[in-house]
Each structure stands twice: as C-alpha cells, then as structure tokens.
Amino acid sequence: MGIFNKGDNPKSTAANSGTTIISEGSHISGELKFNGSVHIDGEVEGNIFCEKVVTVGKKGKVKGKITAEKIIVSGFVEGDADCTSIEIISGGKFIGEITYNEITIEPQGVFEGNLKLKTGKIKKINGAKAENEG
C-alpha cells in the first residue's frame, strides 16, 4: 500500500462535496462564482453566484447579492438573495430582499426587508413578523 495508490487514498470531504471555504479572518471583495457549495466564515463584499449551497457561518458576513440553490444564514447578510430555499438559523440575521420558493426562520433568527415568492407576490417583513398583504 503506497502513498501514491489512488485506490487507498480517499479525498477529503470538502473535495468530494465541492465545497469552498472562506475562513475567518479572510476578506474578499468582488464577484464570486462557485460550481459547488461555499461556506463563509470570513467577510465577503460583492455578489455571489453559487450552483449549490451558500452557508454563512456564525462569524461570516456578506454584503451583496447571493444567488444560489440554497442559502443557510447563521451569521450576517446585508443585500438581496435569489434562491430556491433559504434558512435563517437562530442567531443569524438577514437584511434585504429575498426571492425564494421556501423559507425557514428559526426562533432568534432575524429578517428585515421584503420577501418575494417566486410567483411574484411580495410580503413586507419587520423583524421576524410577517404581514399578509393580499
């Protein structure tokens, strides 16, 4: 069993899942595109385009638009989102407009802004209380 034998040398979980990690202490500005998923524990200023999942960790901060299949917010996001599914986890905060098919806001998760169901109907949200307009 040699160290160069591909059959006995499994890839890391991150490599298998195609997840990019932006670690705490990192600051990235600009337009970012990911074929897989991304986990953000640092700071990103700019637009993010991701084919799979964008996870903003507890220490992560994003200022800009996020376009992804799924978004999970445990940290802070200020901007807009266009996604199929979004989860704002307890302790997470999102300020802006979300265009979505499915949304989950856990207790102690905070959302301030507008929600736009992909069918086109808009709901205004103050804090975590939804107002039914229609």
Q: What is the pLDDT of residues 50-84, one digit of tens each?
A: 999 999 999 999 999 999 999 999 999 999 999 99
Nearest to 35 by CA among 48, 18, 23, 21: 18
Residue 16 and residue 19: Cα distance in Å, rounded?
8
Domain count for the chain:
1
For residue 60, give its domain range. 18-130
Would you state the pLDDT for residue 120? 57
HEC letters along 38-66: EEECCEEECCEEECCEEEECCCCEEECCE
pLDDT band at 129 (very low <50, low <70, confident <90, very high): very low
pLDDT band at 125 (very low <50, low <70, confident <90, very high): low
Tokens of 83: 């996604």
- pLDDT for 121 beyond 70: no
* Domain-embedded: residue 99: yes
* Domain-embedded: residue 43: yes
Q: What is the pTM of this model?
A: 0.78
Greater confidence (8 vs 59) lies with 59
* Domain-embedded: residue 12: no
